[in-house]
Structure 1
Amino acid sequence: MKTVKYAVVFCLVFLNQVKGDDDDAEVADNVENYIWNIFNGENGGYEPPNNCKGEFMTCETRNASVVYTRWGRSDCTPDTSDLVYSGYIGGGHYTHGGGGTNALCLPETPEYDNGLISSGSGRSLIYGAELQTSDYSPLAGLHDKDAVCAVCLAQGRSTSMMIPAKRTCPQGWTKEYEGLLMGSYYTHKGGHEYLCVDSNPEVRPGSAPDLNGFLLYPAVGVCGSSLACPPYVDYAELSCVVCTW
């Protein structure tokens, strides 16, 4: 039996090598999965890539990975994902009508190309982000502090999603983190997307208060509109969760 297992391992290694050829990749994947599922017993001996032993997965899933941003933290959940880089949240100014409406996770150590730097006024302006939580008691101590972020890699998973107004993920999904849904103030000219900011946020050390820029406010549901109330509650802060599959 050991001889058979050694032969199987050799075949699996060989199949991994031929996957570089696009014409052979699909056939190799199918044969590898077939052999692996036959011999994947309690003492199978062969471990496929990305730690998928003991579970039937396609080759595409085993080799997949997905990147997501953890807003409000400079680290990733260690038992579910790896840190790619950490940085600071940035975006357009809350009083500006132009510029981007998306949030950016700006790296801590930017790299500039001197050949692309020039003087001029026709530019898109990016500002740092501040938490606006003076009247939100759970995070009142972080009001006007600079918000941080982390870009995370979840291996063995192929997609991610943020679910507003939930704290749990659907069955079969992996919970990366939960938090508070935050967006721009409703009367500000410079509106931007909603972010799921970690429920235990960090801020940039030494950040100066009240410099404004890209501002993040807790988001609430408003009843009396077309929002379903109940189950939604008027002016109750909305939670959020980020999940991977």
Structure 2
Amino acid sequence: MKFFKYTVVFCLVFLNQAKGDDDDAADNVKNYIWNIFGGDGGNLPPNDCKGEFMTCETRNASVVYTHWGRTDCTPDTSDVIYTGYIGGGQYSHSGGGTNALCLPETPEYNNGLIASGNQRSLVYGAEIQSDDYLPWKDIYQNDPLCAVCLAQGRSTSLMIPAKRTCPQGWTKEYEGLLMGNRHDHPGGHEYLCVDLNPEVRPGSAPNHNGFLLFPAVGVCGSSLACPPYVHRNELPCVVCTW
């Protein structure tokens, strides 16, 4: 019995030392020994998790982000989960949700739930309000599309306003135009990063209003730092993953 106890203590001390050692050359062997006792059969890891931006924690991770304004995802880095239409609360309503929705192209309804009465939160389709933004003048009043994307091997996503590039080590999913509700409309909502080359629903040019998207601009003369910001210049944006 004493021999067994001493053997266990020796193994624990050895394994603890192996687990905490930073010697790169021996890492795989030490992990192999450790994992035998950890229960995975001693399988060697597919890589040593020593990459500059890849860690053991993020190697098998994934993150979801929405590609506003497009029905595709970044080639070679992300997969499409589903595509649909941008929607949200009506621009003049003071109630309802404030977040944007990517509504699937093929909704599924519970036939046992029948809507009646006015005690409801109302969801409207989105329209691009770009009549005085020349690059998008031809899609004014059109309904923008969206895609929900899965980025594998990354664990977080980030939308950065007023930038077109991602921080070092991050993956650029797409860049776009920062958009929100008009400043004097009561139905405020979150800012979206809408792709610079937006797709719209065919035949959606007629004006129905609803969830409206206007280009966002910086306002100098307030607390905004000018320079470097420029008064009433449209603000870009970029979506990055890590």
Q: TM-score, normalised by structure 2?
A: 0.80
- How many equivalent residue pairs? 210
With over 3 angstroms needed to count, the CA separation of the structure-2 counterparts of 1:190 and 1:160, relative to structure 1, is: same
Partner of 2:73: 76
Partner of 1:218: 215
User: Which of 204, 209, 223 is the matching residue for 1:207?
Assistant: 204
Letter in 2 for 1:71: W
Q: State how 1:7-22 maps to structure 2 within 5 Å.
A: none
Q: What whole-Å deviation, never above 9, does each CA across 1:159-217 have from its counterpart, x for those lacking one?
A: 00000000000000000000000000000011111000000101011214211000000
Letter in 1 for 2:155: S
1:154 Cα offset (Å) = 0.2
Partner of 1:5: none
Task: Please give the secondary structure, in 1, of the residue aligned with 2:83.
Answer: strand
Partner of 1:126: 123
Q: What whole-Å deviation, never above 9, does each CA across 1:126-185 have from its counterpart, x for those lacking one?
A: 000000000000101010000111000000000000000000000000000000000000
Q: Any gaps of 5 or more consecutive residues in structure 1?
A: 1-7, 19-23, 37-46
Whole-Å separation in 1 of the counterparts to 2:173 and 2:121: 32
1:63 Cα offset (Å) = 1.4
Partner of 1:155: 152
Q: State how 1:31-180 maps to structure 2 within 5 Å.
A: 35-36=44-45, 47=46, 55=51, 57-180=54-177
Whole-Å separation in 2 of the counterparts to 1:28 and 1:180: 49
Whole-Å separation in 2 of the counterparts to 1:242 and 1:166: 9
1:55 Cα offset (Å) = 3.7
Partner of 1:232: 229
Q: Which one has the bigger helix percentage?
A: 1
Q: Let me know the Cα RMSD of the aligned residues.
A: 2.4
Q: TM-score, normalised by structure 1?
A: 0.79
Using the aligned pairs only, state the percent identity: 72
